[in-house]
Amino acid sequence: MIQLFLLVLILIALFFTLYLSHYKASQNIKYQNDERWKYIQLKSNQITQKYYEFLMVAVAVLLIFNLFLPIQIHFNLARVLLIIFLCLALGNIVETIALKHLDRRN
């Protein structure tokens, strides 16, 4: 059951990654790369950058806790890689949502 759930998460991440590149390309053609579209992309990139900064702070805090608290937790390497992949793919989801929201708003 957990494998099906992980497969669905991976497929959602893949969908948003492909959709983001398609959406950017179609909007570049639609708006002919004008100032408004450049501004929307800039704001969307700023939002995505904030997500990645939050992710870095969260990892740093977890590493600090790991240094000072004597808790031994063992993870499978495949599971760690999957978590890293999903966290990075969530950045594409954040950027897609930000682009669509800012495009509707402006």
What percentage of the chain reaches a pLDDT higher than 70? 100
Is residue 12 a part of any domain in this protein?
no
Is residue 57 a part of any domain in this protein?
yes
Residue 94's nearest CA partner among 35, 39, 16, 31 is 16
Q: Total structural domains in the chain?
A: 1
pTM of the predicted structure, to 2 decimals? 0.85
Averages of pLDDT over each 10 residues, the chain, 106 residues = 92 95 94 92 96 95 87 85 93 96 88
Is residue 22 a part of any domain in this protein?
no
Is residue 69 a part of any domain in this protein?
yes
Is residue 89 a part of any domain in this protein?
yes
Is residue 6 a part of any domain in this protein?
no
In contact, 103 and 40? CB cutoff 8 Å: yes
Tell me what pLDDT residue 40 has. 95
d(CA 47, CA 96): 10
Is residue 21 a part of any domain in this protein?
no
Alpha-carbon torsion angle 71, 74, 78, 84, nearest 10: 0
CA 73 from chain centre, in angstroms, equals 26
Tell me what pLDDT residue 71 has. 80
Is residue 5 a part of any domain in this protein?
no
Q: Show the domain range for 68.
A: 39-106
